[in-house]
Structure 1
Amino acid sequence: MVCHPVERVWWKEAVVYQIYPANFLDSNGDGLGVDTIWLPPIFASPQKDMGYDIADYRSIHAPYGTVADVQKLIDELHSQQMRLLMDLVVNHTSDEHEWFKESRSSRTSAKRDWYFWRDPKYDEQGIRKEPNNWKSVFGGSAWHFDETTGQYYLALFLLSQPDLNWTNYAMRQATYDDMRFWLDRGVDGFRIDSMNLMSKHPNLPDGKVVTDEPYQSGAEFFASGPKMHDYVREMRAEVFDNYDIMTVGELGFTKDEHSVGQYVAKDRRELNMLFTGDIVDMDFGPNGKYERSDFHPSKIRNVTNLWQTAMPKLNGWNSVYLDNHDSGRSLSRYASDAPEHRAAAAKMLATYMATLSGTLFLLAGQEIGMANLGKDYGADAYIDVEAKNHYKAVLKARGGDESRVADVLKELQLKARDHGRLPMQWDSSPNAVFTTTDSKPWMTINKDHKEWNAASQIDDSTSVMAYWKQMLALRKQNTDILVYGSYSPLPESETGEVVLGYERECHETGKKAGVLLNFSATQQRVLAAKRYPDFSVLVSNQDPNFVDGQITLKPFGAIVLQSA
């Protein structure tokens, strides 16, 4: 394999901590060891999609504060040698944004072409139809009729989130000005939401009919369209290259090596890294998120091996993550939140993330082993629009009989976006410090916060939080190996099918680290230890057990070995 020399820059070594602003309340000075904070949208918004429907990019949602407050946050972070990453949502706006209000005011509006407007179609009976058959990501048609001007507008998410038309030069320049507004204030980079949806096929053709539903996925025509790379390169040349920042694109509907390489290969001058989504899709069914497909360790082995070996060839860079605001908690989906395994499983996942090459991203709560809501929560516990719309649609299709949608509820209990957005579990008080005891929180708080909370772990040297601190310190102490080193998968013949094993090696010194991770609830004997006759244990979530060159890994056991 041909590898390129690795350029060392701050954003490659960063440890990014994602905070969901509505559900986070920290007021003391204890630290985890992260150096970059990522805030999902905090801008002015009607909050119909938890802030991803932006009404004004230069104002702050009132409950969060003001632009001056954000400036103070930026300045305070910089004074502590920390950085701030913001969400950049420019595929769509809220329908309450002034741009859209002007756009919908008349067909001759100067901003009419800043969004997608199309005339209706009519069937043989003269019934009005949408311009094409595209299905919204949240269900139903992606087109919405506007009585004022007699045309439809495109909204791939909620009807209140109209898509911006990136073919319009003036619109692009206006979004660049909004980006500069924040970069000039010291923001250190952007995670670009729904990035590759910004270029659609110019003719907006019908999606391929693959179901008997009235609307079909048009992803082949609205994702990674013909101008996508032109837009990203223009954005970089006109905005990003004027600042020392990190850029992360959310790449939906696209997971192959060739397509990813076109965005992140250094000589392409586009983005620093991507979220491809395949690491959070490993238990999705063939027809979508809420269809059952059981997770098996072979899936994470395949995804990990693919991107850890691909990026050196592409001269690109990885993002390393398991959880985010759009996913259920990885602990509950890919490991175990059962009481007897939870701590070990959370530590095993921490070992996995901290020993891979790439920029590390944590979601608030991972550091204390936060889990999904659990199987004793009903559909009424979920408030996110994606989960609610899906549940209601299936319930309606099955005659309104809740006894017939147990399979749907099971998938919500695993994958609903609510799980990744749960209020941070600070302590065991009735509402985890978010509200008084006689008021109801705006969002469900997991009842297990009484046992699993930050306060109970801060001073516990055996806690998940303490282990995360250890792993992050280890990563910083061994940057040459764990961040910039090469990656070699260990053969399944040495690890077994449920143990993920790989080796990291420093290019300059030849120093190696071997990583073994048991993704199962049963004890495993691993032959790979024979590779390390002279070794030391860098870290382990269990008491190491070596017999005749074999390692016994307990359920969800993890160990990192360093060669002499």
Structure 2
Amino acid sequence: MTTQWWQKAVVYQVYPRSFQDSNGDGIGDLPGVTSRLDYIKKLGADVIWLNPIYRSPGVDNGYDISDYYDINPEFGTMADFDKLLAGAHKRGLKIMMDIVVNHSSIENKWFKESAKSKDNPYSDYYIWRDPVDGHAPNNWGGFFGGSVWEYVESRQQYYLHSFAVEQADLNWENPKLRQAVYDMMNFWVEKGVDGFRLDVINLISKPASFADGQPNPGEPYADIGPIIANGPRLSEFLQEMHAKVLAGHDLITVGESPAATVADAQQSAGLKTNELNMVFEFEHMGLDGNPAPELGKWNDQPVKLVDLKQSLTKWQTGLHGTAWNSLYWDNHDQPRIVSRFGNDHPAYRERSAKMLATLLHFLQGTPYIYEGEELAMTSAHFTKLSDYQDLESLNAYHHFVDEEQRVPAATMLAYLAHISRDNARTPMQWDASLNAGFSTGTPWLAVNKNYPEINAKQTLAQSDSVFNYYQRLIELRHTLPVITDGDYQLLAADDAEVYAYLRQDKAETLLVICNFTEKSQTRHFDQLPTDAKLLISNYADDAGDELRPYEAKVYQF
């Protein structure tokens, strides 16, 4: 099968609120992004993924859209977006929009009309249910805690909200709603955008039955995630979306897919299924979750390397030849990877960041780089609840500490410092000036205190910087077909300290070796011939079988 451009591409994710503020209000904006296009081009990325920039009340930082056809005034105007799009295209960069079509804001015109009455033209744009014995229709619990049901007096019914109460789920069973979504997507395609990242897209097809689920021990609600993920009509809806929006356009598409299995991805991201190019799976991001299921992701323990190998290998081998992987460590919903899977101590931060980048960028799939990852920015490690703005984090703290008294306050703060989404949302660290060069005003979220030591200006001045290392990785992906097309083979699956694997096609083989520890150790790989070439490493020399702290190296033969 012919290699598609997006299979060799590298995506750079921009969280506009935290990227660059151009007007001093403390909030990043579209002119700010435009002013930094040359930086992204210098890195070597091909595509910019913009988190939602639409009009929104901001309950969930833009993932509650009130107008799909307008720009959030905090970020600028449609004219500002047009300048950004033109500036990106002038530099050979593509723009991928983030759209949210599982739910909308309750401030959206569609919902306001739907809530008025049962015979309104928008009545069935959302999921409404009658009370059962005077109570909510079932015991489903939302991703942000509490019941997924909210009562509206004007309809004398409840509406479904899988996330915040202000985010009402759209009713994809209604063909008029689906067409309205496709019309909106086509509006952006006609403006010239180059693709879409579809938020929680595998939740759009709800099950036929709205029966109660099984709660975790001691919890009143059943987790809605497994109940609604990968529903019965998901494939049908995605194929319809492809036919009505994507077909005939050379776009890049990725669907965020919590709880997706390899089999789900083989369908949604199949090379021949006419749905999406790839999906974001979450399995490797859930490996460090709490052993107590009721606490979910809230934990502060490191991931076990053997588990990480098993997960990544399952996806590498499972999708090879049938579907396409997305490759990511960081994004706006995950803490900084160098703090999570690496070591953010000053002695090891850059070395371990390069090691993690090496591991990811030689896998098969399309790599995603989250703003600041190329600088080895660290998690914020906030110490007070008042430091946080993330709705998910605040709700979890109040639920487990204040309401249930299940977790001591100090323990929960340690969990937030490790895994909260705000760890990745602190402003981009551009230089050592006021507020890291992000804003002349008061930033919406505090800048990480280490910005005088970790910033783009300082990093770009280094010849052996993390930024420079990412540039080299991107160039290799653009030029070596084996990275895109080759087979994957895990080596030493039970090794708890070193991750090694082979990439191989008919022309050549790559051996990737990554030491996940701060200690030197010895590993010998029989697959390595004596005439192998050291392709890239995060050390200046090659110590052979000795692996130094967080050493990463790739041999070509």
> What TM-score results when the alignment is normalised by the length of structure 2?
0.93
CA distance in structure 2 between the partners assigned to 1:469 and 1:354 by the alignment: 11
Residue 7 of structure 1 pairs with residue 2 of structure 2: yes
Is contact 1:529-1:551 (8 Å) kept? no
Which amino acid is the alignment partner of residue 368 of structure 1? L
**Residues in 2 aligned to 1:142 and 1:149: alpha-carbon distance in whole angstroms:** 17
- Greater shift, 383-392 or 441-450, is seen at 441-450
Look up the SS of the partner of 1:173 in the other structure. Answer: helix
Distance (Å, rounded) in 2 between the aligned partners of 1:364 and 1:435:
16
Q: Contact 1:207 / 1:220 at 8 angstroms: preserved in 2?
A: no
Residue of structure 2 equivalent to 1:481: 482
Secondary structure of 1:310 counterpart: helix
Alignment of 1:54-453 (within 5 A): 54-122=65-133, 128-254=134-260, 256-286=261-291, 287=293, 288-291=296-299, 293-313=301-321, 315-374=322-381, 377-397=383-403, 404-436=408-440, 439-453=441-455
Per-residue CA deviations over 1:361-382 (Å, capped at 9, x if unaligned) read 01000000011112x6222211
SS across alignment from 2:512: strand
The DSSP-based 3-state class of the residue aligned with 1:339 is coil
Residue pair 1:351, 1:471 contacting (<8 A) in 2 also: yes
1:454, distance to aligned residue in structure 2 (A) = 0.6
Q: Which letter does structure 2 place at the counterpart of 1:517?
A: C
CA distance in 1, matches of 2:214, 2:231: 16
Alignment correspondent of 2:501 = 502
| Displacement after TM superposition at 1:492 (Å) | 4.1
Contact kept, 8 Å, 1:539 with 1:559, in 2: the verdict is yes
Offset at 1:65? Answer: 1.8
Query: 1:7 deviation in Å?
Result: 2.3
Deviations 1:213-267 (A, max 9, x none): 221113343211111111011111111113110111111122x322221212223
- For 1:465, which of 455, 464, 467 is the aligned residue? 467
Equivalent in 21, 45, 70 of residue 56 of structure 2: 45
Which of the numbers 520, 530, 534 marks the counterpart of 1:533? 530
Give the superposition deviation at 1:434. Answer: 2.8
* Cα shift at 1:274: 0.6
Unaligned runs of 5+ in 1: 1-5, 123-127
Q: CA RMSD in A?
A: 1.7
| Counterpart AA for 2:486 | G
Contact 1:498 1:519 in 2 (8 A): yes
Q: How much has 1:525 moved relative to structure 2?
A: 0.9
- DSSP 3-state at the match of 1:504: strand
Pair 1:512 & 2:519 matched? no
- Aligned partner of residue 473 in structure 1, secondary structure: helix
- 2:310 touches 2:493 (CA, 8 Å); kept in 1? no
Q: Secondary structure at the match of 1:76?
A: helix
Structure scoring higher RCO (CA < 8 A, sep ≥ 6) equals: 2
CA distance, structure 2, for counterparts of residue 492 and residue 251 of structure 1: 27
Cα 1:410/1:217, change in 2 over 3 Å: same
Q: Distance in 1 between matches of 2:169 and 2:244?
A: 22
Instruction: Report the Cα distance in structure 2 between the residues aligned to 1:348 and 1:266, rounded to whole angstroms.
Output: 30
Shift of 1:147: 2.2
Secondary structure at the aligned position of 1:49 is classed as coil
Q: 1:491 to 1:434 in 2, by over 3 A?
A: closer
Unaligned runs of 5+ in 2: 21-32
Over residues 476-500 of structure 1, what are the superposed CA-to-partner deviations in whole Å (9 max), with x where a residue is unaligned? 232x12122221222347xx43111
Deviation at 1:197, TM superposition (A): 0.7
CA–CA distance in structure 2, aligned partners of residues 65 and 430 of structure 1 = 23
Shift of 1:328: 0.8
Structure 2 contact 302–340 (Cα < 8 Å) conserved: no
- Range with greater deviation from structure 2 (335-344 or 214-223): 214-223
Tell me, in whole angstroms, the C-alpha distance in 2 between the residues paired with 1:430 and 1:218: 43
- The one-letter code matched in structure 1 to 2:283 is D
Deviates more, 1:172-181 or 1:216-225: 216-225
- Runs of 4+ residues over 4 Å off in structure 1: none
Q: How big is each residue's C-alpha offset from its partner over 1:319-370, in whole Å with a ceiling of 9 and x where there is no partner?
A: 1111111111111111110111101001111111221111110100000001
Conserved in 2, the CA contact under 8 Å of 1:204 and 1:221?
A: no
Q: Is the 8 A contact 2:429 2:438 kept in 1?
A: no
C-alpha deviation, 1:170, in angstroms? 0.4
Show the counterpart of 2:29: none
Using the alignment, how far apart are the partners of 2:207 and 2:316 within structure 1? 32
* Counterpart contact for 1:208–1:218, Cα < 8 Å: no
CA distance in 2, matches of 1:259, 1:434: 40
Aligned AA for 2:126?
Y
Shift of residue 90 of structure 1?
0.2
TM-score (norm 1): 0.92
Residues of 1 paired with 2:215 and 2:354: CA distance?
A: 45
Q: Are residue 454 (structure 1) and residue 463 (structure 2) matched?
A: no
Preserved contact between residue 127 and residue 160 of structure 2 (Cα < 8 Å): yes
Q: Which amino acid aligns with 1:357?
A: Q
Return closer, same or farther for 1:80/1:417 CA change in 2, 3 Å cut-off.
Answer: same
Alignment coverage as a number of residue pairs: 538
- The separation in 2 between residues aligned to 1:197 and 1:456, in whole angstroms, is 42
- In the TM superposition, what whole-angstrom CA distance separates every residue of 1:256-286 from its partner, at most 9, and x where no partner exists? 3222212122232211111011122221124
Separation in 2 of the partners of 1:220 and 1:319?
22
Distance, in Å, in 1 between the alignment partners of 2:546 and 2:183 is: 57
Residue 209 (structure 1) shift: 3.1
Note if contact 2:431-2:458 (Cα within 8 Å) is conserved in structure 1. Answer: yes
- Which segment drifts farther, 85-94 or 287-296? 287-296
Other structure's SS at 1:18 match? strand
Residue 35 of structure 1 pairs with residue 32 of structure 2: no
| Cα distance in structure 1, aligned partners of 2:510 and 2:229 | 39
The answer as to whether partners of 2:306 and 2:493 remain within 8 angstroms in 1 is no
Paired letter, 2:476: L
